[in-house]
Structure 1
Amino acid sequence: MSVYLQTKSWEEARKAIKKSKGVAIVPIGSVEQHSYHLPLGTDTYVAMTVAEDAAEKTGAVLTPPVWFGWSPHHMVLPGTITIRPEVLFEMTYDIIESLVAHGLNKIILINGHRIVNVVWMQLCAQKAQSKLGCTVKIFDPAYMSKDIVKELGFGPVGHAEEIETSHMMARFPDMVHLEKAVDNPIKDTPLYSVDPTYEHDTLCYVPSSLAHAKAAAEKSGGCTGEPSKADAERGKIYHDHLVSNLVKVVEQLQSE
């Protein structure tokens, strides 16, 4: 039987909630361009597959994914759908409020959309904890994989790069078209990086202007990084590392 909440009857949901010990996982991603070789839904698929494996192992309730994210800088390429942060904030808060009403008062938000989603998710989590008396954790693969990324020799975090492509190759190989990938190596820019593992001084992230995004898209089809170096073997190790960390977070919450 599927671990997803939407596949259950209300009676099955009640049993699942009891089994979960109050823990629910909410995958959140985006529908945005991921260059020539990855699907628009990459960020959501990544959040879903990590959440699915952890829910299977722990009995946590797994909600339907929030498919959309804030992606204004990717609107230069067809297929991208961007939602205003305030709308995402309110919708996610309502999801949490509904879960809490049913006894799921320990919520884990899985962020597949990296740094762009983080700020509104943090604000939403703070409001939910303050107003609803629940616990909310934000699990971001980019922050939960620093050790394994170094160990596996991956390049820096970019967009549709070696890391994302390897993960997708391991979990959704039929959706990856590596033969279409165009590398766009990340240049070392003084005082700026979006990579959580970056160890030097850096400005805070602001989404690219449409002009800059358009120029990048024309050069590489929307990629930042070197996807040609990706492989499924390292993608599986990366995935398993994320699942292991998420299981630890779930089990810690279940023990409280």
Structure 2
Amino acid sequence: MPILKQCTMDFFERERDRISTVIVPCGSLEEHGPHLPLGTDTLHAQALADAVAQRHPVWSAPPLWYGVCRSSSAHPGTVGIRSATLRALVLDVVEGFVRQGMRQVVLLSGHAGGTHMATLLDAGEELLERCPDLRMAVLSVLDLGRAAWSTIQETPGDSHAGEVETSLMLHLHPKWVQGTAEEAYPTFPAHILVRNKRAYWRSGVWGNPPAASPDKGRRLLEASVAALIELIEKLKAWEEPNHP
């Protein structure tokens, strides 16, 4: 089971010629409504990476626990980092894996905030320039789920502490789920930056928690595993064209 936090040096040395792909889960410490744990994003990404590593020859790395949290920054429990900090951390971690023989790296983010994802993409582009032999994929769990969850997810636009994440936590960590919450969505004004962000997103829910169930969480995770394995196989076979 190539989950890196459980591996010894000797095991890693024996297996790294055979396994040259690593998934780096990225997450956040962020409010997830009144009912889900602050670590939901990281727990989701880590569980998905570990599940893939149990079925496919990839390494599952320990997660990056902190992310760029803009919309939820005023909510209790959210502790974010700057884009520059996340970018530097990703550059260092991925270059460390490249030095250890990895040739494919998947940055898998459980946190799908726009500024956060733009930071991961920016770091990924620089890594392609720094490491000529590296193949990279950068995506969020929501990117993966848009197609993978189409027959499972019922709530259109559900994205944060709603049907999907509540279902996943009921499946993965049911004892950490504290009841439920009402369906809700943020009301931020278009294009205008606001200081009092909580005034426009009181509950911190973006979706429909009452539509969640443990079985739905199991099916969502299984669909994500299959979709991520398919992406990894595509990444391993990826060849850049030689002409513009």
**Common fold, TM-score beyond 0.5?**
yes
* Corresponding residue for residue 144 of structure 1: 144
Q: Is the contact made by 2:73 and 2:197 (CA closer than 8 Å) also made in structure 1?
A: no
* Corresponding residue for residue 163 of structure 1: 164
Q: Tell me how far 1:75 sits from its aligned partner.
A: 2.7
* Corresponding residue for residue 209 of structure 1: 194
* Corresponding residue for residue 216 of structure 2: 234
Q: Tell me how far 1:148 sits from its aligned partner.
A: 4.1
Q: Residue 113 of structure 1 aligns to a residue in which SS?
A: coil
Q: Residue 26 of structure 1 aligns to a residue in which SS?
A: strand
Aligned length: 235
Q: Is the contact made by 2:69 and 2:113 (CA closer than 8 Å) also made in structure 1?
A: no
For residues 71 and 207 of structure 1, what CA distance do their matches in structure 2 show? 17
- Structure 2, unmatched stretches of 5+, are 239-244
For residues 46 and 169 of structure 1, what CA distance do their matches in structure 2 show? 11
Q: Is the contact made by 1:17 and 1:61 (CA closer than 8 Å) also made in structure 2?
A: no
Q: Establish whether residue 130 from structure 1 lines up as the match of residue 139 from structure 2.
A: no
Q: Establish whether residue 69 from structure 1 lines up as the match of residue 70 from structure 2.
A: no
TM-score (norm 1): 0.83
Q: Deviations over 1:109-156 (max 9, x none)?
A: 101101332101111111001111111101322121223433224212
Distance change in 2, residues 1:30/1:153 (3 Å): closer
Give the counterpart letter for 1:42 in structure 2. Answer: T
Q: Tell me how far 1:248 sits from its aligned partner.
A: 1.4
Q: Residue 138 of structure 1 aligns to a residue in which SS?
A: strand
Q: Residue 182 of structure 2 aligns to a residue in which SS?
A: coil
Of 107, 113, 134, 1:109 maps to 107
Distance change in 2, residues 1:97/1:148 (3 Å): closer
* Corresponding residue for residue 17 of structure 1: 16
Q: Residue 74 of structure 1 aligns to a residue in which SS?
A: coil
Q: Is the contact made by 1:109 and 1:139 (CA closer than 8 Å) also made in structure 2?
A: yes
Give the counterpart letter for 2:164 in structure 1. Answer: I
Distance change in 2, residues 1:145/1:57 (3 Å): same
For residues 147 and 94 of structure 2, what CA distance do their matches in structure 1 show? 31
For residues 30 and 207 of structure 1, what CA distance do their matches in structure 2 show? 24
* Corresponding residue for residue 251 of structure 1: 233
Give the counterpart letter for 1:157 in structure 2. Answer: D
Of 96, 99, 114, 1:98 maps to 96
Q: Is the contact made by 2:148 and 2:224 (CA closer than 8 Å) also made in structure 1?
A: no
TM-score (norm 2): 0.87
Compute the RMSD of aligned alpha carbons: 2.3
Identity of aligned residues (%): 24
* Corresponding residue for residue 241 of structure 2: none
From the two aligned structures, give the one with the greater helix fraction: 1
Give the counterpart letter for 1:158 in structure 2. Answer: S
* Corresponding residue for residue 29 of structure 2: 31
For residues 169 and 144 of structure 1, what CA distance do their matches in structure 2 show? 20
Distance change in 2, residues 1:211/1:67 (3 Å): same
Q: Residue 40 of structure 1 aligns to a residue in which SS?
A: coil
Give the counterpart letter for 2:76 in structure 1. Answer: P
Q: Deviations over 1:214-245 (max 9, x none)?
A: 4422xx2x212221111122221111111001
Give the counterpart letter for 1:166 in structure 2. Answer: S
